[in-house]
Amino acid sequence: MTNLVQAEALWQVKTLSDRTVEAIPDSPWLATGFFLLGIISVGALVAGLGLVLIYLERKIAAHFQCRLGPMRVGWHGLLQTVADTIKLLLKEDIIPERADKLMHLMAPFLSLLATVLVLVVIPYSPILQIADVNIGVLYVSAVGGFGILGILVAGWSSNNKWSLLGAMRAGAQIMSYEISATLALLTVVLFAGTLKLSGVVQSQADGWWIWRAHGIGLVAFMIFLIASVAEINRTPFDIAEGESELTGGFHTEYSGMRFAFFFLSEFVNMFVAAAITATLFLGGWMPFHIGGLHGFNAIMDIIPPVIWFLGKTGFLIFLIMWFRWTFPRLRVDQLMKLEWKILLPIGFVNLVVAAVAVLFDVYFFPRN
């Protein structure tokens, strides 16, 4: 037990919302400041992620394809995304004549909203987290599933058959893969014994769940990664967009800024998926620890938690991009088959095995 107490003392979590609450009795102005800081930092994060990830994606894609990628605007094309954003903002925003105007206008924001809401609870480091909801894991899966609404509304309101097909595909796909993702989440919740995201991270002080929970963690990690890639509509699961089949799917009829919003939410989604996977299975901001080896753990602690978090998330983002630039697209029925006939049974069995493992306390380096 001492080990855990030590770890918790070392990794005291203090979120921005905690600070706000603490500051209210003393100085309401400071509280307001913290509150505004939270809002601004999420906004900045979305914009920053958009810029960085789109540039990274283009560069990584280029190098996978034996070309250079953006090279002209700024040093090695660093400002290319900025130039593209300005172009998209200045472009005409076309709404099809017979589209449902209100819905059509709303859809991109709905899509972005879901991702922004998840960004709020991600633990970036012990002191860098905006809100630490006590049902964090549940919140993530609930709010994350909200993103489908934007896609469905976009496809429905566009009054275009290709868009509708894309939206329906996305609906079926995201709903199905949500189940597998949730099952994999539950495995981690069983091991961690908490729904709080910071609690999940702290529970990995003796080792990340991906290897600490024997094979169970690894299987759950794989299922969660596949399901996350499917949920964020990226190749090989990008059937909702499927530009060679559906000419862009749900966003066929979108142009200018609204298209940019879909684009942005796709990239921020990718970050969210990678960050959640890293938090649950790769220890989030927790350095690489091996239970009991205090000397080794102390050396690992030298690297600050934010770097650990970004490193893990960055690796997963690279992995997801690697998928995209290597794999072809699955067909819609094959996608469903993969979920309902392969991932779901494995996920269920894995969950039962996990429950047994937790009940009899048989994981690596059991909690002392």
Binding residues for other proteins, rule: CB under 8 A, are: 61, 64-67, 161-162, 165, 169, 235-236, 238-239, 242-247, 325-334
* Identity of the residue, 165 or 272, whose beta carbon is nearer to other proteins in the bound complex: 165
State the nearest-atom distance from the C-beta of 163 to other proteins, in Å.
11
Q: What is the closest distance, in whole angstroms, from the C-beta atom of residue 78 to other proteins in the complex?
A: 22
Report how far residue 191's alpha carbon sits from residue 211's, in angstroms, rounded to the nearest whole number: 12
What is the C-alpha separation between 155 and 104, in angstroms, rounded? 9
- Rounded to a whole number of angstroms, the minimum distance from the CB of residue 66 to other proteins is 6
Q: How far apart are CA 290 and CA 294, in angstroms?
A: 8
Nearer Cβ to other proteins (134/326)? 326
Q: Which is nearer to other proteins, 160 or 269 (CB)?
A: 160
Q: For other proteins, which is the closer residue by CB, 326 or 368?
A: 326
Nearest-approach distance from CB 81 to other proteins, in angstroms:
19
CB 256 within 8 A of CB 103: no
Cα distances (angstroms) measured from residue 22 to each of 14, 34, 127, 310: 11, 10, 14, 28
Choice between 52 and 61, CB closer to other proteins:
61
In the 8-state DSSP scheme, what is residue 339?
Answer: I
355 CA to centre of own chain: 26
Gap between the Cα atoms of 201 and 216, Å rounded = 18
If the CB atoms of residues 71 and 131 are measured against other proteins, the closer one turns out to be 71
| Residue 97 or 361 having the CB closest to other proteins | 97
Shortest approach of other proteins to residue 330 CB, angstroms? 6
Q: How far is the CB of 234 from other proteins (least distance, A)?
A: 11
Query: Which residue bears the tokens 């809401």?
Result: 117
* Neighbouring residues of 267: CB distance < 8 A, sequence distance ≥ 6: 49, 50, 53, 54, 57
Closest distance to other proteins from the beta carbon of 227 (Å): 17
Separation CA 298–CA 317 (nearest Å): 28
CB of 162 vs other proteins, minimal distance in Å: 7
Rounded to a whole number, what is the largest CA-CA distance in the chain? 68
User: What angle separates helix 161-192 from helix 256-281, to the nearest 10 degrees?
Assistant: 20
Q: How far is the CB of 332 from other proteins (least distance, A)?
A: 6
Comparing CB distances to other proteins, the nearer of 132 and 253 is 253
- Nearest-5° angle of CA 79, CA 84, CA 87? 130
CB of 220 to other proteins, least distance (A): 22
Judged by CB, which is closer to other proteins: 343, or 354?
A: 343
State how far Cα 176 lies from the chain centre.
Answer: 17
Given the complex with other proteins, which of 169 and 212 has the nearer CB atom?
Answer: 169
Q: What are phi and psi of 128, to 5 degrees?
A: -115, 80
Burial class (CB in 10 A: 0-12, 13-18, 19+), 44: exposed
Distances (CA, A) of 336 to 69, 175, 225, 330: 34, 10, 16, 10
Task: Return the DSSP state at 194.
Answer: -
**How many beta carbons lie within 10 A of that of residue 295, not counting itself?**
7
